[in-house]
Amino acid sequence: MRRIVPTLICAAVLALPAAAAAAPSPPGSNDASCKPTTAHPYPVVLVPGTFENQSMWETVAPQIKAAGYCVFSLDYGNNATGDIPTSAGELGTFVNQVLAQTGAAKVDLVGHSQGGMMPRYWMKFDGGASKVDDLVGIAPSSHGTTNPLAGPAGPFCPACAQQAAGSAFITNLNAGGDIQSGPSYTVISTRHDEVVTPYQSQALSGPASQVTNIVLQDKCPLDLSEHLTIPDEPVTLRWVLNALGRSGPADPSFTPRCF
C-alpha cells in the first residue's frame, strides 16, 4: 500500500506522525549465514528514509540478493524521524556488526531519501568513509529540501527540520564539499520528485571517477516515478546493480531497459 499513495499526498507524508513499531526484515536480508563472494565482496546495507523502515525494501532486497550479494537492512531513529547525527551513529553500529559477521572489509550502502543522505554524515564525521565502497542514493536529500512541510514538522520529526534546505545540519554536512575520498557515489533522481525539491538538489559534486548523477528520465523519458515509488522502479534497480557491479560509481553511459 505504501507505493500507491497518490502523488499529491506523498509530499504531505512529511507532516504525519511516525509509527514506532519494529519492522520485519525484508525477504533476502539479514541472513546471518551469508558470506560475500569473490565476485561480490561487499555486503549491501539498505537504509530507509524518513517515516520509513526496512520493510520498504521488500521488493528490492530479494532482487539484490538474487544478483549474488549478501543483503542487510536496518531500522533507525524511530522510523528515521529522530536526530540525524544520532541516527548516523546507529548506522555505524550496524555496519560494524555486518563487517564483523561477514568478515568483509567494506560495505555498499543503498539508501532512499534521508537514507541516501544520512550515511554521508557518518562517513564524514564518524570515520565511516573507510568502511564504504559505494554509496547509492535514491532520491537523496543531499542538500535538503525546499518542501514547505519539512521545517514545521520539526517538533515531532527532528530529521524533517534538519533536512530543510539551508538548515544548520545541511550547511554543516556539505561544508567543504559533498564527498569524501575513497568511496564512490551514485545518485538516482526523478524529475517528478515532490518531496525532495528541487530534484536537482539531490545531485552531488565531485569528479566523474567518483560521482555519477542520474536522472531517470534522461534515459527513460516516459518514466513517471516520484519520490515514494522510485525505489521499487525496475529502472532504478538496474542502475543500482550497475553501480554495485563495477569499480567506481554507476557508468553514465549505461542504457537500462526502461520497461
Q: What is the pLDDT of residues 21-32, one digit of tens each?
A: 578 999 999 999
The CATH number of residue 129's host domain is 3.40.50.1820
Question: Does residue 223 surpass a pLDDT of 90?
Answer: yes
Give this prediction's pTM: 0.92
Question: Does residue 12 surpass a pLDDT of 50?
Answer: no
Residue with cell 554536512: 173
20 falls within a domain: no
Q: What is the pLDDT of residues 57-111, one digit of tens each?
A: 999 999 999 999 999 999 999 999 999 999 999 999 999 999 999 999 999 999 9
Give the separation between CA 24 and CA 123, rounded to whole angstroms: 27
Counting residues of the chain whose pLDDT is more than 90, the rounded percentage is: 91
| Per-chain mean pLDDT for the chain | 93
State residue 21's pLDDT score.
59
Beta strands in 25-66 (DSSP E): 44-47
Give the separation between CA 5 and CA 13, rounded to whole angstroms: 10
Question: Does residue 4 surpass a pLDDT of 70?
Answer: no
Question: Does residue 113 surpass a pLDDT of 80?
Answer: yes
Domain that holds residue 223: 30-244
Give the separation between CA 112 and CA 52, rounded to whole angstroms: 9
Give me the mean pLDDT over the 137-148 stretch.
98
Residues 6+ apart with CB under 8 A from 176: none
24 falls within a domain: no
- Give CA separation, 246 vs 11, 133, 143, in Å: 34, 11, 26
State residue 17's pLDDT score.
39
Give the separation between CA 192 and CA 213, rounded to whole angstroms: 16
Question: Does residue 19 surpass a pLDDT of 50?
Answer: no
171 falls within a domain: yes
198 falls within a domain: yes
State residue 156's pLDDT score.
95
Q: Which of 18-32, 120-134, 168-182, 242-256 has the lowest mean pLDDT?
A: 18-32
15 falls within a domain: no
55 falls within a domain: yes
Band of residue 243 on the pLDDT scale cut at 50, 70, 90: very high
Nearest partner of 126 among 157, 76, 90, 100, judged by Cα: 90
114 falls within a domain: yes
- For residue 31, give the C-alpha cell: 541472513
Say how many domains are in the chain: 1
Contact 184, 137 (CB under 8 A): no
State residue 114's pLDDT score.
98
Q: What is the pLDDT of residues 157-170, one digit of tens each?
A: 999 999 999 999 99
194 falls within a domain: yes
Residues 6+ apart with CB under 8 A from 256: 219, 220, 235, 238, 239, 242
Contact 199, 190 (CB under 8 A): yes
Question: Does residue 122 surpass a pLDDT of 50?
Answer: yes
